[in-house]
Amino acid sequence: MAFDIEMIKKVYSQYEERINAARQVVNKPLTLSEKILYAHLWHGNATEAYERGSSYVDFAPDRVAMQDATAQMALLQFMQAGRPKVAVPSTVHCDHLIQARDGAEQDLTRAKNESSEVFNFLSSVSNKYGIGFWKPGAGIIHQVVLENYAFPGGMMIGTDSHTVNAGGLGMVAIGVGGADACDVMAGLPWELKFPKLIGVKLTGKLSGWSAPKDVILKVAGILTVKGGTGAIVEYFGEGAESLSCTGKGTICNMGAEIGATTSTFGYDESMERYLRSTDRAEVADAANAIKAHLTADPEVYADPEQYFDQLIEINLSELEPSLNGPFTPDLYTPVSRMRDEAEKNGWPTKVEWGLIGSCTNSSYEDLSRAASIAQQAIDKGLITKAEFGINPGSEQVRYTADRDGLLKTFEDLNATIFTNACGPCIGMWDRAGADKQEKNTIVHSFNRNFAKRADGNPNTYAFVTSPEMVAAIAISGDLGFNPVTDTLTNRDGQEVKLDPPTGDELPAKGFDVEDAGYQAPAEDGSNVEVDVSPSSDRLQLLEPFEPWEGTDLKGLRLLIKAKGKCTTDHISMAGPWLKYRGHLDNISNNMLIGAVNYFNDQTDSVKNQLTGEYGGVPATQRAYKAEGIGSIVVGDENYGEGSSREHAAMEPRHLGVRAVLVKSFARIHETNLKKQGMLGLTFADKDDYDKIQEDDTIDILGLTEFAPGKSLTLVLHHADGTQEQIEANHTYNAQQIEWFKAGGALNIIRRNQKNK
């Protein structure tokens, strides 16, 4: 069934006119990314050419998607907007709050019991406001979106950084915070700095052990975790057309790990095949009618250096399988070099677990290719050395894979089939023995591998690779195993070699499912009640943040000077904290507890300037708040990389942090800070980071003349009585400055709704 087909047809009916208008004002051939962006301008046809990397532009996304952990805060904010129904098609997907432990059935039942209050809230609020609801067990948000909602040439936003997965079906799909989602659901424009463009030309064709995952692992190695910041990555070339639709989704999905705004591919036959296979022939037919507009103009791909800000070329025929990690998704190592690298770096080579799934690699094709390796292990008499865990991407994928015998193959190797949910990928893994914090290695087909990410153990060395490589390495139990060249000894003492993986792009007998897990909203939700208990420790209605007081900020205490990598996992951990995502005060007790304090190299240990004693970050900040004292957080490069979770901005705001000053920001986090009325500032001179001392109190001057492009002055008052002045830059435009003055963007929405 094709959801929202009339909306899709309306988008397509405007495409030619809008692209022609854009081509006139830009006065050159257009990339695919530019076509989609210009076709979704809030005000209609383009009247000016926007400057990449500097112009702020208002867009009109076609739809919004939210996962259960982030949907809570997004919808708690939307409930304050005063609208009876969402303005654009929107969905909620329950995939984050299901812990992997015993297996699908037991884990799902336990999650429904433990999180019933949250699931009931999300179900009822969706029912009331016209939002499609996908029940627990229905699948991982991005796989479900790819199967049901993504369409070529569309624009969507989602409250999860891996929303970008929908680029596999030719969308511009962008991860945002809940406040952005709230704007769009409330019928307001969505603002984005017009992205730069990175072109990736793919030549050749994958073969043997190489997989689509290896493409993005290679790109991550080239661009690093911040190389894509502020840019859309557009893949093209004969190699791109040779990839399956879900393979393209894998590549786009992990674009979040290079900081890219999103990634996308032009519409081609693999996308058409996928649309028809997932019962969306109407969408395929509509896309075919405008297919020339759903890829770049021919001149662009013929001479890409002229049209992209950066160009990368990868020959798929020469690409070898690889693993990225540990502790960062951009540390690229081809499998042929892994044994040497592991020995050189002291990485444990004994592999304890192999995990297949997550939103990145849980399609039917992924499971079928990995199952082909598992079947070989059975047929060739191999004894699997590591434990296996499988997370199917959706109930449709699980049901079809079960029907076709793929899951039985894994079970024959004693694999645990977990729920159709995120599970270990986002820290929802109750792994036996993880509390001992022993040094160990796991391999997985997920997207992120930050410390503590999967199991809470800081000494788990996690390596990212393709599902088929996960299977091979888990069978061998050896991180250095290279299935291209190495043999294994079977139970009869024979040396055997694994053949390259095989699999089906799409199920030969088609997809099938008994209950996909979808709940349609009420036609009229006006009588639907949404209850939030005042005594709940899981849900808390939001109170508006206070507006700016109209003066410069003086006497701010330094809360923490974070050292090195400080991701959203460090600022607001997931795992056991996910259960508090709908309760701002409770979840604020995890604020910055994973950040490393520059002054003592410890986590969750900062100096309280009121007492001189060291304590936890949240407790210290609560002490400042109780005394009416504001504070400032200082950070390093790419601060806030990783997840889209706006809790990393809302928690400091709630507890009284007034500003975050860093060397550089990840895109989504900087926007989230702005939306919540926070000051997100960057050092004009990055060396000034070294001037921040532990006992500093800090003034921020120039706010009474706060204006776009005008820097602010910070005065550092040191404990010895000396002071220094440093300059701080910002990227606030006029509208974002109004968010700051109002105390947050939501306060403006609420005010405007009251004045209607």
pLDDT at 522: 95
Evaluate whether residue 279 is within a structural domain: yes
Same domain? For 309 and 347 the reply is no
Which among 448, 583, 647, 654 is annotated as catalytic?
448
Which among 62, 68, 95, 404 is annotated as catalytic?
95
Q: Report the amino acid identity of residue 727.
A: E
Evaluate whether residue 390 is within a structural domain: yes
How many domains would you assign to the chain? 3
* Angle at which helices 245-253 and 212-223 cross, to 10°: 20
Same domain? For 642 and 705 the reply is yes
Which of 275, 302, 317 is the endpoint of a domain? 317
Evaluate whether residue 155 is within a structural domain: yes
Query: 3-state class of 751 per DSSP?
Result: helix
pLDDT at 756: 65
Which among 40, 63, 93, 96 is annotated as catalytic?
96
- What is the span of the domain harbouring residue 607? 553-755
* Whether residue 448 lies in the annotated active site: yes
CB atoms within 10 A of CB 60: 19
How many Å apart are CA 419 and CA 99, to the nearest integer?
Answer: 9
Same domain? For 277 and 362 the reply is no
Evaluate whether residue 356 is within a structural domain: yes
CATH number of the domain where residue 141 is located: 3.30.499.10
pLDDT in tens, 40-49: 999 999 999 9
Which among 643, 644, 658, 669 is annotated as catalytic?
643
Which of 492, 507, 526 is the endpoint of a domain? 492
CB atoms within 10 A of CB 133: 23
Which among 62, 68, 107, 160 is annotated as catalytic?
160
* Angle at which helices 364-379 and 395-403 cross, to 10°: 30
How many Å apart are CA 629 and CA 625, to the nearest integer?
Answer: 6
∠ CA 577-395-244, rounded to 5°: 100
* Whether residue 491 lies in the annotated active site: no
Evaluate whether residue 518 is within a structural domain: no
* Whether residue 93 lies in the annotated active site: no
What DSSP letter does each residue of 126-163 carry, written as one string?
Answer: HHHHT-EEE-TTSB-HHHHHHHHT--TT-EEEESSGGG
Q: Are 506 and 277 in contact (CB under 8 A)?
A: yes
Query: In 380-452, which residue ranges form alpha helices assigned H by DSSP?
Result: 395-403, 406-412
pLDDT in tens, 306-352: 999 999 999 999 999 999 999 999 999 999 999 999 999 999 999 99
Q: Which residues of the chain register pLDDT less than 70? A: 754-756
pLDDT at 132: 98
Same domain? For 487 and 473 the reply is yes
* Whether residue 96 lies in the annotated active site: yes
Which among 162, 398, 444, 645 is annotated as catalytic?
645
- Give, as one character, the DSSP assignment of residue 3: T
How many Å apart are CA 116 and CA 302, to the nearest integer?
Answer: 55
How many Å apart are CA 548 and CA 665, to the nearest integer?
Answer: 23
**Beta strand extents in 702-752 (DSSP E only):** 712-717, 723-729
pLDDT in tens, 698-746: 999 999 999 999 999 999 999 999 999 999 999 999 999 999 999 998 8
Q: For the chain, what is the total number of helices (H) and then of strands (E)?
A: 26, 30
Q: What is the pTM of this model?
A: 0.90
Same domain? For 297 and 363 the reply is no
* Whether residue 160 lies in the annotated active site: yes
Same domain? For 262 and 331 the reply is no
pLDDT at 409: 98
Which of 287, 302, 317 is the endpoint of a domain? 317
Q: Which of 399, 294, 269, 278 minimizes the C-alpha distance to 2?
A: 278
